Amino acid sequence: MSTLFIGYTRFSVHQYESGSFKATSTAGGFSETEYTEWLYDSDRLDTRTAIFVDESLPQLAQASKKCDLVHIVAISPSLPEKYKATLQEARSRYPFLRIHETKQRAAPSHPNLPLVKTMLTKRGLAGQVFGMYRLDDDDLLPIDYFERMIPYVTGEHVGYRVSLPQGIGTIRAQNGYVLPWTFYEAKSSAGFLSVHRFSPDGQKIFGLEARHHVKGHHKADRNFPVILDGRQPGFFRVRHQTQDSTLTTSAGAFFTRVVEQATGRPTATHDAVASAFPHIADRVCDSAEHLHGTASLTAEPISLASCDLAVSCDYRLPMLLSGGLARSAATPAIQLRLTLEEVPDESAVAFFREAGFTVDSQNKFERALRWADQKITDVLEPPPGTAITRLELSSSDDVTLTSLFAAPLKTVGAST
């Protein structure tokens, strides 16, 4: 008998006043109307639908060829019909998919237990061991996920949790991804597995959390033994503007923050992405040069010590800046200077200050250009409602700019 895995995804379940989300927290949370508008915003749901249906489900389909899989997607009755229809269409393509509409609050760690018991009973699995895992609608699992988990789904491991903590992170850019990195997160929610046994009488599921247990997947080891297997990538995590985790009291420079975080971590190779996540590998790139709509800002190499680079532009969307350097100075200082289309107001100044800029007497914004290992990776992110109309690079050190490309990180009207 094939090992059974039951997966669980909450697809934008309406849970106002839940303590699990920043959007509904007491500190700076939304009103119920604001929460509903944010939860069902078309840009937000379009992004998550594209990731889950077009990218995550094909990964699960390939991964599950040697096991029995049921993946339950919990939705609310109020989910807009467009997205219900898309999920039902996906159900027709992926027989392992189940859509569960619920008016009740959906638990974070496992699907509706009466539903699970019904599925187990129909399969004749009384007394059998199975695994349950969770997956957010904007995370992906590798194609060897179930193969790696099968050895842990045994009677000896009932009640255990299993985490594959090596992750690949990336930034959602246009309809793909940019700047992949590697990181380690023990007990991540993505693919976090629990091992269970269905009682012989079909009444109980052993290995569940009890009411007195410490809550939260990151604290799971306080309740159960947890196996960590970080030998290979175990999940693919996306950073995008529509995530609850990105909500802050500031509407500041999102892409500037995440690109800075990405460049501060070890780069994930294309081979690593392609091996574990083949269904999205061709959508992942490591520079602006390979994004749609890229433009070269230099016709030939330029010595910045001899003359400044000045480019007129009309950047109303966040732009990724990528390029190359040849240098003689050990750590040359390169200044980036930006001009807006109009005199900046207080909100624009605050926006740029959050991104590390200072404002000069001419109302231009300056800071050091971000580069490492002779590669430029930076962001030109205009405040909402205005545009960057000029960028300048300068240096008093011996450094030559060999190339410079700019490409939009968003498409018009999309949150990515």
Q: What is the pLDDT of residue 246?
A: 46
Cβ-based burial of 184 (10 A; exposed 0-12, middle 13-18, buried ≥19) = exposed
DSSP per position, 63-113: HGGGSEEEEEEEE-TTS-HHHHHHHHHHHHH-TTEEEEE-SSPPPSSS--H
List of domains in the chain = 4-285 (3.90.550), 290-408 (2.60.120)
Listed in order, strand segments (DSSP E) in 122-207 are 129-134, 139-140, 161-163, 166-173, 176-184, 193-198, 205-206
Q: In angstroms, rounded to a whole number, what is the distance separating the alpha carbons of residues 236 and 313?
A: 35
8-state DSSP, 270: H
Residue written as tokens 């989910």?
79
Q: Is the pLDDT of residue 370 over 60?
A: yes
Strands 139-140, 205-206: parallel, antiparallel or unpaired by DSSP?
unpaired
The vertex-380 CA angle with 408 and 305, nearest 5°, equals 120
Looking at residue 247, its pLDDT comes to 42
Q: Report the share of the chain in percent with pLDDT over 70.
A: 93
The per-residue pLDDT for range 144-171, each reduced to its tens digit, is 999 999 999 999 999 999 999 999 999 9
Please, how many CA atoms are within 13 Å of residue 356, restricted to the half-sphere of its CB? 16
Q: What does the pLDDT look like over 10-49, one tens digit per residue?
A: 999 998 866 555 555 545 467 889 889 989 999 999 999 9
What per-residue confidence (pLDDT) applies to 249?
A: 42
Backbone angles phi, psi at 306, to 5 degrees: -90, -40
Closest CA relative to residue 142, chosen from 325, 338, 49, 275: 275
Query: Of 69, 74, 66, which Cα lies nearest the Cα of 57?
Result: 69
Question: How far apart, in whole angstroms, are the C-alpha atoms of residue 164 and residue 379?
Answer: 32
| pLDDT tens, position by position, 355-365 | 999 998 889 99
The DSSP code for 267 is B
Higher pLDDT, 116 or 26: 116
pLDDT digits (tens, 9 = 90+) for 270-303: 999 999 999 999 999 999 999 999 999 999 999 9
Tell me how far apart the terminal alpha carbons of the chain are, to the nearest angstrom.
42
Output the pLDDT for position 209: 86
Q: pLDDT, tens digit, for every residue of 55-88? A: 999 999 999 999 999 999 999 999 999 999 999 9
Q: Which two tokens stand for residue 136?
A: 């957010």
Place of tokens 């990105």: 246
Helix (H, G, I), strand (E, B) or coil at 245: helix
Residue 104 binned pLDDT confidence (cut-offs 50, 70, 90): confident
Longest dimension (CA), the chain: 82
Confidence of residue 415 (pLDDT cuts 50, 70, 90): very low
The answer for residues whose C-beta is within 8 angstroms of residue 402's C-beta and 6 or more apart is 301, 323, 324, 325, 326
Q: Which residue has the higher pLDDT, 172 or 21?
A: 172
Residue 392: per-residue pLDDT: 97
pTM of the model: 0.90
Strand partners, 404: 323
Please give the average per-residue pLDDT across 186-205, as a whole number.
Answer: 96
Cα 292 vs. chain centroid, distance in angstroms?
20
> How many Cα atoms occupy the beta-carbon half-sphere of 142 within 13 Å?
23
